[in-house]
Amino acid sequence: MLYPIDTESRVVMNLNGVWKFMIDREVEAVNPAEPLPAEEVMAVPASFNDQTVTKEIREHSGYTWYEREFKVATPLMKKRVVLRFGSATHEAWVYVNGREVTHHKGGFTPFEVEIGEFLEQGTNRLTVRLSNLLDYTTLPVGNYSEHSDEEGNLVRKVDENFDFFNYAGLHRPVHLYTTPKDYIKDISIAPEVDLDKRRADVKVDVKTAGDFDEVLVTIIDEEGNEAGRSSGNTVSVAIDDVALWQPLDAYLYTAKVEGIKGGETTDVYDEQFGVRKVEVAGGRFLINGEPFYFKGFGKHEDTYVNGRGLNEAYNVLDINLMKKMGANSFRTSHYPYSDEMMRLCDREGIVVIDETPAVGLFGSFSFDLSILENGADSKDGTWEVMNTSDAHEQVIRELIDRDKNHPSVVMWSISNEAATYANGAHEYFEPLFNLARELDPQKRPLTNVYIMMATPESDQCSDLLDVIALNRYYGWYLDTGDLKTAEAKTRKELLAWQEKYPDKPIMYTEYGADTVAGFHSPYGEPFSEEYQEDYYRMNSKVFDEIDNFVGEQLWNFADFQTKFGINRVQGNKKGVFTREREPKMAARYLSERWNSIPDFGYKK
């Protein structure tokens, strides 16, 4: 899916701003053919939860409504007019002037629809019905229940099967954009690089709608010079003396695609891309032929007031904080991040592990660590109750369709902390891995991010992975406060994974300890800033001993909001930054470590 941009043939209109808003109490039917009977307003893009001072709205499970008016300039009414949502969490029904125009389920990927036939001259009304309900058919997974109150009204409840707050709303920009009636529908770019000759053959596949005499593809470098061109819907354009996209040293080319009819250019789209080679070989993760070492974070789209909504100022700050610390990467835990963040990472040279919203794929939200002692015979039951296969396939298709051209994306994560140790897991995941490999034109490596119970002995899916990605909390959830024992267990498990898969890279995608900013202890007690630093120092020591260990992405970049619970006080406190982005003590140690570790060649 192409991101909406202005070109010589396209106009983008922003529908962000303040919309009318109401929760649906499901007492009286809401008729989208009539103006929304709402007294509240909400800013878009943002979660609705933290913009309110009303407990009923903040904790609402069920349906909500958004509405605004807009106008389309008369000359543009003759064009193809498209309505695009960057995301709508988690399910949306969209109405223009009271008529339903589209429906989309899945809260973290974009969707769009042509609306020309529904438009009227002058003022138009856009209405959106949203659901934040989650169950065992959705991604993420939620524990859904319902009951009737004293007055007989239906009360819905979602208990998250994951450890972050179920923020909802119109989280990303809403746009109208126009194209000609004959238009460029999609562009796929897959560079093939000869590193020795510094030459690339850029394969460009263009999908069009309508009638063109010619499709012209011109590659333009960052200085605005033409680097090559070719004609056709499927072409290969050679670039000599190619400039490579490198981590923290980004170079972006532009594929200028023109649809030509009758000697005139009808439609134009400019797609930026980078030329780089990603592969896994000999227990190494190679970028442009050199062994890359991941340094960075798991993080969240999570800020005050905006909740999970797009906040580009925070995105810029977060990237700057990462770079100052010597970090070079992050994972989009636990869902696809905004188009805008992905484009920023392309520009800034940040390496991204791109993850689906498949989180909560285990039968109950409890971490039964007894499997670490009981071995591999797990009758967990997850894959008997989960009915998420269709949703999982959908998000893989939508994620790769959206992010396939981003040079920052070097690996796809199919899920986070699923019950891969349970009977039936391999049968569930194998078709999904096959689908991702089939869909990705750049054939990136694949991983599944592993919960602690998925060990070398118990896991049933590791043969599917290109990279072993582990979430591990020795010294926190296990052997709390006992870093000596945690060190021994960390070393033992990593050596076991390396022995089992000597040709697969291993990395940590989560490790951390909850830390209350300002709490200090001369004894290094858990929750103190001293313990957090000691915890990271212990892990670093072991990481450096393991030959195939290729990266450390800690949990978490910053403190973030979670559901209520006695284990969480104002959210998850594992951040090395507070939610306000103030550093905790461990940030200084990590900065010294990461700035001393080269991006390439650390593990020979």
Q: Does residue 228 lie in a domain region?
A: yes
Q: What is the pLDDT of residues 404-444, one digit of tens each?
A: 999 999 999 999 999 999 999 999 999 999 999 999 999 99
- The per-residue pLDDT for 366 is 58
Residue 603 has pLDDT above 90, yes or no: no
Same domain, residue pair 16 and 119:
yes
**Side chain identity, residue 547:** D
- Quick check: is 603 in a domain? yes
Residues 578 and 592 in one domain: yes
Considering the domain architecture, whether residues 166 and 192 belong to the same structural domain is answered as no
- Picking from 142, 164, 179, the residue at the C-terminal end of a domain is 179
Report the C-alpha gap between 520 and 530 in whole angstroms. Answer: 6
Q: Are residues 175 and 45 in the same domain?
A: yes
- What does pLDDT average to over the chain? 96
Q: What angle do CA 171, 52, 135 make, to 5 degrees?
A: 55
CATH number for the domain that contains residue 440: 3.20.20.80
Q: Residues 30, 127: contact at Cβ < 8 Å?
A: no
Tell which of 471, 496, 511 closes a domain. Answer: 471
Is 222 a residue of the active site? no
Based on the fold, state whether residues 495 and 581 are members of the same structural domain: yes
Shared domain check, 175 and 187: no
Same domain, yes or no, for 454 and 510? no
- On whether both 23 and 134 belong to a single domain, the answer is yes
**What is the extent of the structural domain holding 536?**
476-604
Give the residue from 471, 503, 524 where a domain finishes.
471
Q: Residue for token digits 């529904």?
A: 118
Specify whether 161 is located in the same domain as 244.
no
**Catalytic option among 91, 271, 417, 529:** 417
- Is 455 within the bounds of a domain? yes
Residue 370 banded pLDDT, cuts 50, 70, 90? low
- Name residue 289's amino acid: G
Is 299 part of any domain? no
What integer is the mean pLDDT of 479-505?
98
Please indicate, yes or no, whether residues 104 and 167 belong to a single structural domain of this protein: yes
Q: Is 417 a catalytic residue?
A: yes
Residue 312 lies in a domain: no
CATH of the domain at 207: 2.60.40.10
Active-site residue (options: 510, 529, 530, 533):
510
Report d(CA 127, CA 97) in Å as an integer. Answer: 8
Report the C-alpha gap between 459 and 447 in whole angstroms: 14
Residues in the chain: 604
- State the total domains in the chain: 4
Residues 141 and 32 in one domain: yes
Residues 6+ apart with CB under 8 A from 232: 215, 217
- Specify the residue for token string 């630093």: 533
Proportion of the chain above pLDDT 90, given as a percent:
95
- Kindly state whether residues 334 and 455 are assigned to the same domain: yes
Per-residue confidence band for 567, with pLDDT thresholds at 50, 70 and 90: confident
Helix 529-543 / helix 483-500 crossing angle, nearest 10 deg: 30
pLDDT tens column, 499-514: 999 999 999 999 999 9
For the chain, report the end-to-end CA distance as a whole number of angstroms.
39
**What is residue 303's DSSP assignment?**
B
The tens digit of pLDDT for each residue in 268-305 reads: 999 999 999 999 999 999 999 999 999 999 999 999 99
CB 209 within 8 A of CB 183: yes
pTM: 0.97
